[in-house]
Amino acid sequence: MKRSTKSRRRYRLGRREETAGETRRRLVEATFQLHSERGIADTSMKDIAERAGVSVGTAYHHFPSYADAIAACGAYTAAHAPAPTQAIFEGAAGRAERVARLAKALFEHYERVPALESVRRDRELAPALDAFAREDARNRRKLAAQAVAPDGPTALVVALLDIDVYRSLQREGFGTADAAARIAALINRSLEATSGAVRRARR
């Protein structure tokens, strides 16, 4: 039995929508890869189109501006490589374990999202980048405060768990897990020394 004209139209429309969705997915993934490899400022719509295997016109059809591609990449990153949340502390025995868990979670996040440095450096290129950078900083400070609660020095934790520290350790040959463990141990020794000094001062 032949398909009706309406059925054939629905089928063709569905196929076009499926194809468009696949093209958009390839473009977003290409953007994520290029941002990770080159940085945001050094990536162009032409680069994205070439990586995705489509024409520049097709890339602009899906993303009218580079800022739109950046925003889509940010949404993709949030969905596929989300930042750590306070759930990482569930069941932790105490401050030292919370610090160790936070170091591990953040350094693993930095490993999964190499473009985070570029987000910070190139944040003026698009409103979505600035918003992403602000939220990333806010989240790290919130988690640091929870890790050292109730009265630990949050600034020290934020500074030592910064992505620049992670990259520096990487360049010196430290793996992600080893770098996280060493920085967590350093933070915990400092916190213990500070707590000890406070206790002695109170006597």
| End residue of a domain, out of 35, 61, 79 | 79
121/64 same-domain check: no
Place of tokens 């990487």: 170
Domain that holds residue 130: 81-202
CATH code, domain with 55: 1.10.357.10
Total number of domains constituting the chain: 2
171/197 same-domain check: yes
43/120 same-domain check: no
109/45 same-domain check: no
101/192 same-domain check: yes
pLDDT at 169: 97
127/174 same-domain check: yes
pLDDT at 16: 53
Q: Which amino acid is at 144?
A: A
Using one digit for the tens of pLDDT, what is the confidence trace for 136-171? Answer: 999 999 999 999 988 888 999 999 999 999 999 999
135/65 same-domain check: no
Secondary structure of the chain in the HEC alphabet? CCCCHHHHHHHHHHHHHHHHHHHHHHHHHHHHHHHHHHCCCCCCHHHHHHHHCCCHHHHHHHCCCHHHHHHHHHHHHHHHCCCCCHHHHCCCCCHHHHHHHHHHHHHHHHHHCCCHHHHHHCHHHCHHHHHHHHHHHHHHHHHHHHHHCCCCCHHHHHHHCCHHHHHHHHHCCCCHHHHHHHHHHHHHHHHHHHHHHHHHHHC
Query: Which two structure tokens, joined as six digits, stand for 78?
Result: 């949030």
64/93 same-domain check: no
Query: Which two structure tokens, joined as six digits, stand for 144?
Result: 């640091």
| End residue of a domain, out of 79, 109, 126 | 79
Using one digit for the tens of pLDDT, what is the confidence trace for 97-142? Answer: 999 999 999 999 999 999 999 999 999 989 989 999 999 999 999 9
Chain length of the chain: 203
66-75, 149-158, 168-177: which range is least confident on average? 149-158
pLDDT at 196: 55
45/98 same-domain check: no
Bond from prior residue into 127 cis (ω within 30 degrees of 0): no
147/62 same-domain check: no
103/192 same-domain check: yes
Cα(38)–Cα(154) distance, rounded to whole angstroms?
A: 32
| End residue of a domain, out of 31, 59, 79 | 79
Q: Which amino acid is at 167?
A: R
148/185 same-domain check: yes
User: Can you say whether the dihedral through the CA atoms of 167, 181, 76, 132 is positive or negative?
Assistant: negative
CB 183 within 8 A of CB 175: no
